[in-house]
Amino acid sequence: MTRVKICGLMDEYELECALKAGADALGFVVEIERSRHRLSLDEARNLIGMVPPFTTSVAVVEPAGVDDAVRLADYLQSDALQIHGDLSPEEIEEIKRRVPQRIIVAVPPGSDRAVEVSRIADAVLVDTPVSGGLGGSGRTHDWSVTARMRSTLHAPLILAGGLRPENVMDAINVVKPYAVDVSSGVETNGRKDPVKAEEFVRRVRSCQ
């Protein structure tokens, strides 16, 4: 069964929207200035604390290094840490050794480091690259490239980038990911839309 993560949640209303839609995982963007979904440490920790059992909380971070990642993990207490940026495989391995959270590493499609990172991480998230290095652009990429990547990875692949209710079934059929990740694709006027969120999850489930 393809899992669903709804990311970029900003407040309790959006958290409840994602839960009611049936998302398996909820994502919170922490202290990444160029993201319009960014939260402060305290805002993120508060929302993460509201995530109920059997739903995975994911802190989306861009740590400056190993110690910064450990600091964020310790404070936020999420179930998983989604790491963006250019940390080396050695640094990711050290983070994984020092924190209890599952580690998701974000890479662009066709990344040269994806295979090596997949030997360490619990999952690899493939997102459309944007200027500045963080996803969340709402733009798709060539899914055939990501499908080829999937067969080379040693960890589950999470597909992100421009997904929305209208295209998620096609994306799943091409890539066959472990999970799909959506943010702006279930928004209206910059806010999570419960109708779009529910339709997105429904269409993912219909692919099973």
Q: Please confirm, yes or no, whether 142 is among the known catalytic residues.
A: no
Q: Please confirm, yes or no, whether 7 is among the known catalytic residues.
A: yes
Tokens of 89: 């495989």
| Nearest-5° Cα angle at 7, 141 to 170 | 40
CA dihedral 132, 122, 59, 108 (to 10 degrees): 20
Tokens of 2: 């393809």
- Catalytically annotated residue among 127, 142, 170, 207: 127
The terminus-to-terminus CA distance of the chain in angstroms comes to 6
How far, in Å, are 31, 35, 81, 136 from residue 38 at the CA level?
6, 5, 15, 11
Contacts of 177 (CB under 8 A, 6+ apart): 2, 146, 150, 156, 157, 158, 159, 171
- Kindly list the catalytic residues: 7, 127
